[in-house]
Amino acid sequence: MEISREKQLTKQQPPVDGYCEQCGFNYDTGDLQGTVTLLIRQSADCSMALTKAAAGPDANVVRLRPEPEVWSAIEYACHVRDVLEVQRLRIAQCLAEDRPVYAPMDRTGRVKQEKYENQDPMEVAAALVRNAKDFGAAARVLRPQELGKLGLYNYPVRAPRTLGWIIRHTAHEIQHHRHDIVEILAKVEPPIVPKPKVEEPDEVAEVAEVAEVDAVTEVDSVDEGTVVEQVVD
């Protein structure tokens, strides 16, 4: 059976260098400060999308998966929150150690272990923004020689990576999953139907009174027309 292009994209791993066609992130452009600013802003976007959906007609929409193998909005938001914390700790580890080996964060295992789908969306959203600011504070003060420090990174394959790359990769994670969260919510959120206006008793009485006046005026007009016709005849 042929797999749709959409399902293929959900199963592809995003690139860790160069340009990402799925979300538009480019590892080769932008300075450090601009990258961190983008990361913080897009983290806020993730938080806002989650809270807005959770405050909508169906709060559980954030827990719905569009496909069995695709995470829900809150699962992606929890992942983004944890990525920001883990990456901040990796910056600290790299500054403290010579050629550190970063422990895998076990991104897929955390979904079940931490019960992402059951977490409170408002708390997740607040922690996501807080972690983004903390990561940004740690990244902004790095000096050029520190940005070039190497550590052994495990994803997607074990390879030496600089702190500068870690910052860009974290920004890519946020931008990519911001795209995921918005796209998923667009698929699973129920349409918003405006509630019918409930007229107050005073408004109903006023409408009835206006209608009665109009009816009387119409009758008077007819009577006047009849009189005129009789005079002319």
Nearest to 36 by CA among 225, 187, 164, 157: 164
Range of the domain at 97: 13-188
Instruction: Tell me whether residue 1 is in a domain.
Output: no
Q: Report the pLDDT averaged over residues 147-168.
A: 96
Q: Report the pLDDT averaged over residues 169-179.
A: 97
Whole-prediction pTM: 0.77
pLDDT tens-digit map of 47-76: 999 999 999 999 999 999 999 999 999 999
User: What confidence score (pLDDT) does residue 30 get?
Assistant: 81
Question: Are residues 100 and 23 part of one domain?
Answer: yes
Contact 108/102 with Cβ under 8 angstroms? no
Number of domains in the chain: 2
Under the banding of pLDDT at 50, 70 and 90, the label for residue 7 is very low
Lowest-confidence range among 44-53, 59-68, 140-149, 201-210? Answer: 201-210
Question: Are residues 169 and 58 part of one domain?
Answer: yes
Q: Report the pLDDT averaged over residues 9-26.
A: 82
User: What confidence score (pLDDT) does residue 14 get?
Assistant: 87
Lowest-confidence range among 37-51, 147-161, 177-191, 209-223? Answer: 209-223
CATH number of the domain that 160 lies in? 1.20.120.450
Instruction: Tell me whether residue 4 is in a domain.
Output: no
CA distance 233 to 230: 5
